[in-house]
Amino acid sequence: MFLFMDISIINSFLVTFIAGLALIIGALLSLFIKSGKRDLFPLILSLTGGIMLFISFVDFLPSSIKLLSQFYSNEDAFRFAIFSFFFGLLTTTPVDMLLSFFQRKFLNRTVRPLQLKKKQHFELNFFIFLSITIHNFFDGIATFFSYFTDLYVAIPILVSIVAHNIPEGAVIFLVIFNMTRSKKKAFIYCTISALAGPFGAVVTIFILSLGVPAMLNGIIFAFLAGLIVNTALNELIPASEIKGTHQLSIKGIIAGMFFMAIIMIFFH
């Protein structure tokens, strides 16, 4: 009961809330995007995908192994981390299967996005929104745990999450606005997705109140790494190629990795 009044719990929740607000910032920035800039939307998708891939393999997964090695041998820590990684990779499989179904149904090679019916566009875009929101939920868990356990680990993770939440906020805003032509509805969807992070923190607080082993931190980092890779490979990068070109997608991925590398070098 008194856990909820702990100052470290409160601070961790506020940090998670700030990370969620990055989506709103991304939505606000998207207001300055002109409709004629057709390359920008797929570039944002691939840029986010590059950021996600880089932080998963360079930051989250190594952090998981390092944390687990405090409780197990190096070999067992590596095995637990890899198992958790693939568990996270497969967690959103049902959502990914639904998204793939709509992509195959509505975005086959003979149909261009501009030829889709309004209902078909909405169904596809809704699953893009849903997948990002589920990802933000687990981001909230990771941000909360990292800040609560180790400030040094939390800083680069928080920066990474904020960095990819901003373009994700722009993605959600543009996806919904292009469908509804309503800025209000676009901001509502962005707000819902942004609140998924703090909701993940609330779930984490509940778990902590039950007395969870400290080694769970390492499991969560590996799990999140798998989830992020899943989101990047199954949703963002394919969507960037559908809405843009393969060359533009590759450039966005590389740019995202380079951007994240500069941030990590600065904070490490």
Q: CA-CA distances (angstroms) from residue 256 to 83, 172, 259?
A: 27, 18, 5
For residue 65 the two structure tokens come to: 């192994």
Low-confidence stretches of the chain (pLDDT beneath 50): 1-2, 4, 36, 38, 109-116
pTM over 0.75: no
Cα–Cα distance measured from residue 219 to residue 142, given in angstroms and rounded to the nearest whole number: 10
* Tens-place pLDDT, residues 84-127: 999 988 876 766 666 566 556 555 544 444 444 555 556 667 77
With a pLDDT cut of 90, the percent of the chain lying above it is 7
Q: CA-CA distances (angstroms) from residue 28 to 24, 65, 166, 194?
A: 6, 37, 9, 13
Rg (CA), the chain: 18
Q: What is the pLDDT of residue 252?
A: 86
CB 207 within 8 A of CB 69: no
The distance in angstroms from the start CA to the end CA of the chain is 36
